[in-house]
Amino acid sequence: MTGARDIPSFDAAPPRARLFVGAALGAGGSIGLSPGQAQYLRHVLRLKAGDPVALFNGTDGEWAATIAGFGKGWASVDVLRLRRRQVVEPDLWLLFAPIEHGRIDYLVQKATELGVSVLQPVITAHSRVHRVDVERLSANAVEAAQQTGRLTVPEMRAAVPLQKILADWPAGRRLMFCDESGSGPPVAAALSAEAPSGRLPWAVMVGPEGGFAASELDALAKLPFVMAVSLGPRLLRADTAAVAALACWQAVLGDWAEATPDP
Ligand code: SAH
């Protein structure tokens, strides 16, 4: 029997371009893209009017669209139909001490692929880098979110002092901090012990290249929402530690621990 499901559809071949847009998405809408997006579609991917693209905006799911036309510095797209429904993604913040250009970009890209919801730079006692280019890092997060297929873009926040963020800590959110001193329990066992409490909001924190100061370790040890963990016997660079810790969290408490839903 030949049914509608057997007819090759637009959705059978995923569009080559997947773009994050600010506009609301719904069938029949027409959206103007940014000059950067227009340039990317036209000159990098060499797409033409009529070619398919996918759009998401963080709230309305992912939509199939086609390029309506290009002009000088602009492109418009026609929104056709829903490809994927919006889903609830893990509520996972990453707190990280700013590190040098290049490695901080890597950290933001990988953390986005690993599903963090908020990227929060924190200034610690041994931080050597204090300035954070929020705009550049946000652009990195958007690009990584587009490429990795997630339905949101993590929120890139401005840097705050560690003391302040701990003083203003939101009720109900746990904080797993990566303690290079080795005094914390192994990460997998510590996270597994938390699994029965179900899906809670969490944050993961890694320190700067200089590590945490003794006074910071003392302050963290006193806070009821904090859990120290060890990432094994080797000293990791801060960016490696962030990627490793996020992968462990996703595998035990996050969406890697769930069956993959049908697309
Ligand atoms: N210079 C410091 C190391 C800092 S490594 C020292 O010599 O002790 C940067 C950050 O990565 C640390 O603050 C910590 O959060 C994380 N990290 C690195 N290796 C780790 C490990 N084996 N276990 C837990 N956290 C680690």
- Summarize pLDDT for 167-219 with one digit per residue, the tens: 999 999 999 999 999 889 999 999 999 998 888 999 999 999 999 999 999 99
User: Which atom of ligand 1 is nearest to 234's Cα?
Assistant: 22
Of ligand 1's listed atoms, the one at least distance from the Cα of 210 is 1
* Mean pLDDT computed over 104-109: 97
pLDDT band at 61 (very low <50, low <70, confident <90, very high): very high
Q: Which of 180, 226, 243 to mutate to test the pocket of ligand 1 (most atoms within 8 A of CB)?
A: 180
pLDDT tops 60 at residue 146:
yes
Under the banding of pLDDT at 50, 70 and 90, the label for residue 12 is: low
Residue 18 contacts residue 45 (beta carbons within 8 Å): no
Encoded tokens for 192:
């597994």
Rounded-to-integer distance, Cα 93 and Cα 174, Å: 10
- Domains of the chain, with CATH numbers? 4-84 (2.40.240.20), 92-257 (3.40.1280.10)
Please give the Cα distance from 84 to 101 (Å, whole number).
Answer: 35
Which has the closest alpha carbon to 168: 179, 180, 157, 178?
A: 157
In angstroms, rounded to a whole number, what is the distance separating the alpha carbons of residues 120 and 96? Answer: 6
- Label the pairing between strands 52-56 and 74-84: unpaired
Report which of residues 135 and 16 the model is more confident about. 135
Mean pLDDT of 14-27: 94
* 116 Cα to the center of ligand 1, angstroms: 20
**Rounded Cα gap, residues 119 and 241, in angstroms:** 15
Distance (Å) from CA 217 to ligand 1 centroid: 12
Residue bearing the CA closest to ligand 1, atom 18: 236
CA distance 106 to 120: 15
> Measured in angstroms, how far is the CA atom of residue 211 from the centroid of ligand 1?
6
Which residue carries 């418009």 as its tokens?
76
What is the Cα–Cα distance from 59 to 52, expressed in whole angstroms?
Answer: 21
**Ligand 1 centroid vs 244 CA: distance in angstroms?**
12
Nearest CA to ligand 1 atom 9: 238
C-alpha dist (Å) from residue 141 to 18, 112, 154, 261:
14, 6, 7, 24
pLDDT of residue 31: 96
Query: What's the pLDDT at 13?
Result: 65
**Ligand 1 centroid from CA 141, angstroms:** 24
Tell me the pLDDT band of 8, cut-offs 50, 70 and 90.
very low
Report the atom number in ligand 1 closest to the C-alpha of 126: 1
**Is residue 52 pLDDT above 90, yes or no?**
yes
Chain mean pLDDT for the chain: 93
Going by alpha carbons, the residue nearest to atom 11 of ligand 1 is 238
pLDDT in tens, 214-244: 999 999 999 999 999 999 999 999 999 999 9
Q: How far is the CA of 253 from the centre of ligand 1 (A)?
A: 22
| pLDDT recorded at residue 16 | 87
Strand-by-strand arrangement of the 62-71 sheet: 18-20, 52-56, 62-71, 74-84, 30-32
pLDDT score, position 92: 98
Which residues have CB under 6 Å of ligand 1? Answer: 178-180, 206-207, 209-212, 230-232, 234-236, 238, 241
Instruction: Please tell me the distance from the alpha carbon of residue 165 to that of residue 178, in angstroms, as a whole number.
Output: 17
